[in-house]
Amino acid sequence: MARVVVDVMLKPEILDPQGQAVQRALPRLGFTGIADVRQGKRFELELEGPVDEAALVRIREAAETFLANTVIEDFTVRVEDGQ
């Protein structure tokens, strides 16, 4: 089986309160030197067949219509190595 990963992140211009909360907590826990944190989502899709261009088109359509809110989020689709 092949694995395709869809990473979903808030667009840079959208405020990320969860990322900000993590960024503020890190120094209190001893993790210094981190300038910014953005939180996102990762979807791992196991495909039954080969990862060809038609499969990637279907996955991009799923990401655009269901996995990501494209008004406020961007997404990337990639085939995971070793699969």
- The alpha-carbon radius of gyration of the chain (Å, integer) is 16
Query: Is 39 within 8 Å of 18 (Cβ atoms)?
Result: yes
Domain extents for the chain?
Answer: 2-79
Tens-place pLDDT, residues 63-74: 999 999 999 999
Which residues, given as ranges, of the chain have pLDDT below 50? 83
Return the amino acid letter for 26.
L
The CATH class, in words, for 2-79 is alpha beta
Q: In whole angstroms, give the CA distance from residue 53 to residue 50.
A: 9
Please give the model's pTM, rounded to 2 decimal places: 0.88
